[in-house]
Amino acid sequence: MKRSGIVPAAMFIEGCLGMRKPTLEEVAVEAGVSKMTASRALRGVADVSSETRDRVIEAATRMNYVGNRLALSLSSQRTNLVAVVVPSMSNIVFPEVLAGISAGFDGSGMQAVFGISDYDVVKEREIIRDMLSWQPCAIIVTGLDQPEETVELLRHADIPVIQLMDLDGTPIDFNVGLSHGAAGEDMAEALIAAGRRRFGYVGSALARDLRAGKRKAGFERVLRAHGLGFAEQRIDDAFSSIALGKQLTTAMLATVPDLDCIYYSNDDMASGGLFACMELGIAVPQKILIAGFNGLDLVASLPAPIATSRSPRRAIGEAAAQLVRQAVVPDRDATQKTIVFKPTIVGIDGCEAAGPVS
C-alpha cells in the first residue's frame, strides 16, 4: 500500500527490492542486459540465449516484476481488452452470458470489461464511449436496436462489433443470438397444437426489454393467424421478477378466470404465475398451461411443469467470444458474420424438440 519514494536502508537489506513496483528497465539492469533484451526474454521471443533468458526471468521473479499492459498496448498498438455491455444483472440471464464470454476468452489472453446499461440507451452510449477510450480490440453489445447515434459511435470505433442475443434486425457487423419473433411464434404454435385456445399475457418493462416485446409480437402473429388473440393482458413498467409475475397473474385471474394458457415475458414472471395458480388452487398445467421464456434451471425443479423456450445463454456468450477471437486475427474476411441459435421448447407434452415453425 505504501507508495514511498524513500525507503529505509534496512528494508533493502531485508531484500524488499519490490517496494516500488519495478520497471522492465530495472529488471534489465539487474540482469545486466538492455531493456530490449529483457523484453524479449520475458516475452519468450527469439534471439535470446537461454542463459540470458534465465537470468532475466530470475531477476524479474525475484523483483516481483509485473508487466505494464498500458505501456505494452500503447507501444505495440495492440490490446487484449474486449468491451462488453449488457442491460442488466438482476436476473441470471446476462450473468450466464458473461460467464460464457469469460470462459470463451480463457487461454486467449483476452480480457473482458463489463458495463451495465440498466436498459437505458443513453447510459449505454456513455458506457460505450467510455470503454472505447480504452482502445478495446472488439466490443460486444446487447441487441440490435441501438439508436443511430450509438451505431455511429460503434462504427467509428473501427473495431469488430458483436451484437448479442437478438437476430431480428440489421446487425452492424457480427451477430450472435436467436430470433425472438420466431421464438414467440414457435411457442404459440406449440401451445395451440397442445389444444390451448384462451390465452392471457403477463409481461413487464416491454418498453425497455425489446426482445420480450418481439416474442410477444411473434406470439400474437400466430394467434391472429389462427383467428385467436389474447383474451387479457397485464403489463407492468417495472422489471421482471417472480414477485411481479405472481402479483399480475393473481390480478388477471381475478378478472378473467377462464383462461387455459398464459404466456409470460420470461421464466421469472412465469414462475411467479405458477406460484399464483398454486395459491389459487388452479391445476397447472391441466387447467392453465403456463409458458415462459429462457429455460432457467429453476423451471426444471418447479413443483408443476411449465413450458419454456430454452435459450442457450452460455453458448451465446461462448460463441461471441469465439467470433471475437477469429475477428481480431488479420484474415477476417472468411469468418462467419452471424451465428444463429434456435431455442428448444420444453414443458409441453410431446414437444421436447425444437419448435415446429422454421
Q: Which residues bind a second copy (CB under 8 A)?
A: 1-3, 18-21, 64, 66-74, 79, 89-92, 94-96, 98-99, 102-103, 111-116, 129-135, 155-161, 173, 241-243, 246, 271-272, 275, 278-279, 297-298, 300-303
| Residue 95: CB minimum distance to DNA, A | 33
Please identify, using beta-carbon distances, which residue of 302 and 324 lies nearer to a second copy.
302
Per the CB < 8 A criterion, the answer to whether 142 and 121 are in contact is: no
Helix (H, G, I), strand (E, B) or coil at 203: strand
- What's the CA gap between 208 and 205, in Å, rounded? 6
Instruction: Kindly state the DSSP code that residue 307 receives in the 8-state scheme.
Output: B
Q: Among DNA, a second copy, none, what does residue 301 contact (CB within 5–8 Å per kind)?
A: a second copy
Q: Among a second copy, DNA, none, what does residue 315 contact (CB within 5–8 Å per kind)?
A: none
| Residue 226: CB minimum distance to a second copy, A | 33
Please identify, using beta-carbon distances, which residue of 116 and 357 lies nearer to a second copy.
116
Please identify, using beta-carbon distances, which residue of 32 and 229 lies nearer to DNA.
32
> Residues interacting with DNA, by CB under 7 A?
23-25, 33-37, 39, 42-43, 47-53, 67-68, 71-72, 74-78
Q: Among a second copy, DNA, none, what does residue 34 contact (CB within 5–8 Å per kind)?
A: DNA
- Is 86 exposed, middle or buried (CB count within 10 Å of its CB: 0-12, 13-18, 19+)? buried
> To the nearest 10°, the Cα dihedral for 89, 94, 96, 102?
-90
Q: Among DNA, a second copy, none, what does residue 39 contact (CB within 5–8 Å per kind)?
A: DNA
Alpha helix ranges (H) inside the chain: 9-13, 24-31, 35-43, 50-62, 69-76, 93-104, 121-132, 148-156, 180-193, 210-225, 242-255, 267-280, 297-301, 313-327
- What's the CA gap between 276 and 290, in Å, rounded? 11
Identity of the residue numbered 117:
S
- What's the CA gap between 152 and 252, in Å, rounded? 43
- What's the CA gap between 142 and 176, in Å, rounded? 10
Please identify, using beta-carbon distances, which residue of 12 and 134 lies nearer to DNA.
134
Please identify, using beta-carbon distances, which residue of 24 and 59 lies nearer to DNA.
24
| Residue 299: CB minimum distance to a second copy, A | 9
Q: Which three cell numbers stand for residue 327?
A: 475477428
| Residue 89: CB minimum distance to a second copy, A | 4
| Residue 344: CB minimum distance to DNA, A | 45
Q: Among DNA, a second copy, none, what does residue 115 contact (CB within 5–8 Å per kind)?
A: a second copy
| Residue 101: CB minimum distance to a second copy, A | 10
Q: Among DNA, a second copy, none, what does residue 275 contact (CB within 5–8 Å per kind)?
A: a second copy
- What's the CA gap between 357 and 355, in Å, rounded? 6
Helix (H, G, I), strand (E, B) or coil at 233: strand
